[in-house]
Amino acid sequence: MSDSSGAPPVAPPVARTVLQQCLRATLQVKPAEQLSEAEFVQIDRGMVIYVCFFKGATDDILPKMVSTLLNLRLCESDSGKMLSVLDLPGSLLIVPQATLGGKAKGKGMQYHNNIGKEDGLRLYSSFVSLCEKELMTAAAAAAEAEVTVKHGTYGNRQVLKLDTNGPYTHLMEF
């Protein structure tokens, strides 16, 4: 993000995430085919993470990313207090979202800064695994069996339904 503080320029981000809290979110993970219906995953209360990796992203950033996103107070408790998804505790729906890397050129969008498909898939899979590990550890500690991590299929169309009590949309770059 831009910085007008006079500090030395910060390295460009290698990952962009958009966060929205939800009451329920449903995502298609397999489109309908001739002989099979579409498949969906669903979470109830928690947070949707849209994620896009840029060129230059490596596994090194993942632990900090996951720790930051899961511990930041981005969700609202029943009493109106801001809590992290781990403290809520809530579920996670992780949505690969290559469009987040778009830059306008004329009337079109370009995605030249996005990471290649193979590296992107690997980072995305590791990101999901790390989120699962962190959330499950927190849920076990809170004796909260209901929380879960669901995620979209990398490279597919992300058919999404979202029901919120106010999405509280946040942007976080890493």
Q: What is the binding site for a second copy (CB under 8 A)?
A: 1-4, 9-13, 16, 18, 50, 68, 71-74, 82, 84, 97, 99-100, 102-104, 107-109, 157-172
Shortest Cβ 82–a second copy spacing (Å): 7
Give yes or no for a contact between 17 and 47, defined as CB atoms under 8 angstroms apart.
no
Q: Which is nearer to a second copy, 73 or 117 (CB)?
A: 73
Distances (CA, A) of 142 to 81, 107, 148, 150, 154: 18, 49, 13, 19, 31
Closest CA to 57 of 11, 22, 95: 11
Cβ distance to a second copy smaller for residue 125 or 165: 165
117-141 helix and 62-71 helix, angle to the nearest 10 degrees? 40
Q: Shortest Cβ distance from residue 18 to a second copy (Å)?
A: 6
Angle, alpha carbons 39-45-48 (nearest 5°)? 65
| Residue 117 C-beta: closest distance to a second copy, Å | 17
**88 vs 145, beta carbon nearer a second copy:** 88
CB of 68 to a second copy, least distance (A): 7
